[in-house]
Amino acid sequence: MEIQEGERDAAKLLQALGHIWNHIFSFMNSMTLKCVVELGIPDIIHNFGKPMPLSQLIRSLPIHSSKAGNIHRLMRIMIHSDFFSQHNVSENELEVEYTLTNASMLLLKDHPFSMTPLLHFELDPILTNPWHHLSTWFKNETPTSFETAHGMLFWDYVDRDPKLHRSFNEGMASDSQLITSVFIEKCKDMFNGLESLVDVGGGTGTMTKAIAESFPQLKCTVLDLPHVVSGLQGSENLNYVGGDMFKEIPPTDAILLKLWILHDWSDDECLKILKKCKEAIKSKGKEGKVIIIDMVMEEKKEDHKLVETQLFFDMLMMVVLTGKERNKKEWVKLITSAGFNDYKITQVLGLRSIIEIYP
């Protein structure tokens, strides 16, 4: 009996050991993915036009000849992670053929919803270095681990680094492309009765441009910091305004706080933003509204991967910024504290939800 219990305990410990190793090495998933994109493998396979043999892939890659024998190892872990599919399996590994999956399609440089700019931004050493300072941050008074690592807040760093600023804008724009397409298709009725819309913190206006084109009767404005919108050209029903959302938002029928605006900020900062939003839509009365596209944390554990991704985003906000991801209870508290009387949450955008709030 004691032997059986000892064997069970040993089996549990070995399983726990494997679990720990898996977490220690999990950074390899993102680093190998970054390598695959930098080598251009998704585009090479896509341009080949049919399942691509390993031998042909090796000849097409800009690599040193001494590294050719390692490509199948790189592809093997990418197959395990569902970024490529493997065909024509044989004893001769050079005859193995690869095709893209839905995930790797989104890594093509020219794909309309390409995620490569966001990948390059999030995996930049400037963004990954603060994670090495996380335990130190817990012991000091700095607002974020980013500041612990770099000596300044994220937004200040972005303002001083043109390359990172450009990478940030490109990354945010790439994330907006697919969400914009789905949002406009599924939420057309959301704009009924509205004559004007202000996209607060709208960046270069990727989403607002699409809204303006789809709803020509809607007068759209992108509000962001002056240096962000400087030089950007509007259209007949789209214009750019430089300003600070913490100080003033132009009067409008509706406000859009799209992808990753409120989650960047603390509850106190979000309250200030939402109160400014309420002031801006007061002329529309009860018909005015604020449209938020952001994450509503799942409290049920039914979709482990979805919950894990949301937890990753929450940690990202803690390390890089002063914001956080919120569950429904936290959103409702924020909405009512800002003086709004009603809300509606619709989950149609994968990780993100649409939150409509009314005065």
Cα 38 to Cα 30, 50, 81, 118, 119, distances in angstroms: 12, 21, 17, 13, 10
The yes-or-no answer on residue 263 being catalytic is yes
Contact between 204 and 227 under an 8 Å Cβ cutoff? The reply is no
**Per-residue model confidence as pLDDT tens digits over 52-89:** 999 999 999 999 999 999 999 999 999 999 999 998 77
Catalytic residue among 80, 150, 263, 304: 263
Q: Which helix (H) or strand (E) holds 353?
A: strand 352-358
- Do the bridges between strand 254-257 and strand 238-242 make them parallel or antiparallel, or are there none, so unpaired? unpaired
**Per-residue model confidence as pLDDT tens digits over 236-288:** 899 999 999 999 999 999 999 987 789 999 999 999 999 999 999 987 767 78
Residue 232, pLDDT score: 87
Task: State pTM to two decimals.
Answer: 0.86
The C-alpha atoms of residue 217 and residue 229 are separated, in whole angstroms, by: 23
- What are the tokens at 343? 């809300």
